[in-house]
């Protein structure tokens, strides 16, 4: 296990970047503490674990695990140890307790070497032991057979129950628990020990999946809390308690669009508020003040559309806090709130992936589209010179369309983003690939309509110009990011 002392917020961001989207994180307030579940510190509660969990084996694994996760997130000890897929959430949990400000904290990084899916057989075996009082391996074998209709030999059962497993982050599991959703939460599920045929509920085996321990010096904690708050990561958000922690908002108004249309002014305004912790009444007052003052400036017949955001990341994902819905005369409005704002915001945040992953998934698709664009250019020139027939040209374009359709429409769209830092790179790749597809699609459409060759040529050159422009943006952004990474 690598151990590193972190000296600044930026250094932490740089270190964890390569692990985003592929690893798990745990923050602890004291760097001297071992990683382990709370229930192992209470022998009485551990011995009565099955009564404490209070779930029937007729419940499926997701329901049982959701209940355990809920107990864990609301402060009740279980054999789960909290993990998150978001390194900034882990950092928050390592520094949230100001009573331990005199202690260095730590973040542990876990790989995927011992990971279980929610519906895995191994997890089902562990949950049987968790919710049912079973003291012998032979008894467990019988219970597993009864529940799963699968006979497992003793050695395999002992091997399964003696390990500690990471439960893979599962969106269905998260949606069963709002705190888990906000925190990008999952858990390290601690197994059991066996002594011959006897099962012991406490497992002291080593955690093999920890690959790094990051020490956070205590003198950094105050600054780190403020830096995390600027990212919208704070106790009210992560604990789903925003309305009870309101402290007041500042705001800025940005004119996103302004135009004069047949005698009236149209304005689209973005209101950027200073915090993700708010109460609806103040949002309502801010919007009312902005709406009224804009009407005074631009006329009573002006048409005003207002969106409230926290930052650029919200705007990029169109995850607004509130927006106006005007009446038909545009002289008043209803204010619509996004009831899933915080859940969506943290879900997007938690699903960020590393720039290495973005490059590895995006570049092959972009390279494919570039190659097929060049093929399309060659086929177009051959068709213009009458070296190939109309029918052959159409068939070749259809082959290109078939080759690039799935990578563009599915593979590229399935790539999660890396936040604002790398957003433009992905967007320009998506734009270029879309332009290439549009070039091919437009040519096929015009050819199948038997348009005049001059119109087909005009369409090709128009679409090719768009491809050249978007590829230049993509390539410039790719070079910029790679140069910045080489300096790290």
What pLDDT is recorded for position 55?
Answer: 60
CB atoms under 10 Å from CB of 366, counted, come to 24
Q: Name the domain boundary from 238, 271, 295.
A: 238
My answer on whether 336 and 381 are in the same domain is no
Domain span at residue 157?
2-238
Q: Are residues 260 and 197 in the same domain?
A: no
pLDDT score of 306 = 97
Any domain includes 246: no
Whole-number Å distance between alpha carbons of 83 and 74 = 15
Report d(CA 236, CA 249) in Å as an integer.
15
Tokens 């590193």 correspond to what residue?
A: 4
Domain count of the fold of the chain: 3
Condensed to tens digits (0 to 9), the pLDDT of residues 360-414 reads 999 999 999 999 999 999 999 999 999 999 999 999 999 999 999 999 999 998 8
H or E, element range at 419: none
pLDDT tens, position by position, 192-206 = 998 889 998 888 878
Q: Do 144 and 15 share a domain, yes or no? A: yes
Whether residue 383 lies inside any domain: the answer is: yes
Q: Is residue 176 located within the same domain as residue 204?
A: yes
Q: Which of 335, 344, 281 is nearest to 310 (CA)?
A: 344
Cβ contacts of 369 within 8 Å, gap of 6 or more: 404, 407, 408, 432, 433, 436, 437
Boundary-marking domain end, from 343, 369, 389 = 343
Indicate whether 34 and 161 sit together in one domain. yes
Average pLDDT over residues 419-431: 87
Rounded CA-CA distance 234/484 in Å is 29
Q: How confident is the model at residue 41 (pLDDT cuts 50, 70, 90)?
A: confident
Task: Tell me, rounded to whole angstroms, the distance of Cα 427 from its chain centroid.
Answer: 17
Answer yes or no: is 117 within a domain.
yes
Q: Does residue 358 share a domain with residue 290?
A: no
Of residues 171 and 116, the one with the higher pLDDT is 116
Q: Is residue 400 a part of any domain in this protein? A: yes
Q: Do residues 227 and 261 share a domain? A: no
Task: Point out the domain boundary residue: 212, 238, 264.
Answer: 238
**Which has the minimum average pLDDT: 57-66, 134-143, 388-397, 464-473?**
57-66
Distance CA 75, CA 53 (A): 13
Query: How buried is residue 400: exposed, middle or buried, by Cβ count under 10 Å (0-12/13-18/19+)?
Result: buried
The runs of H, that is alpha helices, within 76-214 are 87-95, 121-131, 137-148, 154-161, 171-175, 178-183
Average pLDDT over residues 467-473: 98
Which one has a higher pLDDT value, 117 or 368?
Answer: 368
Q: Closest Cα partner for 274 from 235, 305, 335, 229?
A: 229
274 plus 197 within the same structural domain: no
Closest to 14 measured CA to CA, from 261, 168, 214: 214
Could you tell me if 22 and 133 lie in one domain? yes
Is residue 315 a contact partner of residue 270, using CB atoms and an 8 Å limit? yes
Residues 377 and 331 in one domain: no
Query: Is residue 245 situated within a structural domain?
Result: no
The answer to whether residue 348 is domain-embedded is: no
In a domain, 66, yes or no: yes
When mean pLDDT is compared across 6-15, 163-172, 217-226, the lowest value belongs to 163-172
| 154 belongs to a structural domain | yes
Domain check: are 149 and 270 in the same one? no
Both 28 and 136 in one domain: the answer is yes
Q: Which of 309, 464, 265 is nearest to 379 (CA)?
A: 464
């Amino acid at each position: 296990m690598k151990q590193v002392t972190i000296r600044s917020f930026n250094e932490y961001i740089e270190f964890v970047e390569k692990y985003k989207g592929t690893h798990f994180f745990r923050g602890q307030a004291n760097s001297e503490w071992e990683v382990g579940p709370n229930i192992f510190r209470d022998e009485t509660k551990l011995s009565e674990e099955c009564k404490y969990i209070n779930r029937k084996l007729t419940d499926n694994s997701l329901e049982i695990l959701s209940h355990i996760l809920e107990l864990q997130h609301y402060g009740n000890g279980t054999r789960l140890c909290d993990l998150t897929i978001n390194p900034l959430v882990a950092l928050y949990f390592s520094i949230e307790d100001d009573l331990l400000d005199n202690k260095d904290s730590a973040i542990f990084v876990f790989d995927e070497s011992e990971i279980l899916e929610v519906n895995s057989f191994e997890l089902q075996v562990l949950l049987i032991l968790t919710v049912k009082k079973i003291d012998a391996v032979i008894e467990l074998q019988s219970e597993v057979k009864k529940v799963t209709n699968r006979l497992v030999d003793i050695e395999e059962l002992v091997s399964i129950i003696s390990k500690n497993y990471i439960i893979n982050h599962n969106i269905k599991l998260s949606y069963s628990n709002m705190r888990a959703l906000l925190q990008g939460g999952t858990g390290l599920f601690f197994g059991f020990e066996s002594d011959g045929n006897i099962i012991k509920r406490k497992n002291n085996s080593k955690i093999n999946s920890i690959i790094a321990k990051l020490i956070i010096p205590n003198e950094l904690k105050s600054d780190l809390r403020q830096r995390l708050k600027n990212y919208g990561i704070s106790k009210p958000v992560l604990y789903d308690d925003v309305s009870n922690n309101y402290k007041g908002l500042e705001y800025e108004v940005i004119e996103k669009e302004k135009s004069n249309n047949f005698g009236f002014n149209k304005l689209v305004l973005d209101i950027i508020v200073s915090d993700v912790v708010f109460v609806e009444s103040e949002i309502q007052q801010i919007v009312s003040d902005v709406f009224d003052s804009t009407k005074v400036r631009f006329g009573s017949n002006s048409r005003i559309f207002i969106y409230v955001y926290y930052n650029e990341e919200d705007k990029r994902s169109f995850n607004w806090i509130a927006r106006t819905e005007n009446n038909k005369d545009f002289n008043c409005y209803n204010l619509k709130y996004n009831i899933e704002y915080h859940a969506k915001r943290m879900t997007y945040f938690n699903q960020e992936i590393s720039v290495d992953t973005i490059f590895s998934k995006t570049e092959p698709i972009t390279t494919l589209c570039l190659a097929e664009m060049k093929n399309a250019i060659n086929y177009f020139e051959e068709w213009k010179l009458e070296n190939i027939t109309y029918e052959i040209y159409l068939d070749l374009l259809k082959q290109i369309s078939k080759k690039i359709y799935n990578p563009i429409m599915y593979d590229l769209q399935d790539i999660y983003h890396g936040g604002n830092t790398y957003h433009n790179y992905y967007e320009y790749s998506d734009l270029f690939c879309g332009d290439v597809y549009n070039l091919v699609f437009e040519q096929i459409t015009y050819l199948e309509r038997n348009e005049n060759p001059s119109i087909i040529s005009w369409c090709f050159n128009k679409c090719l110009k768009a491809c050249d422009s978007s590829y230049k943006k993509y390539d410039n952004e790719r070079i910029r990011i790679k140069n910045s990474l080489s300096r790290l």
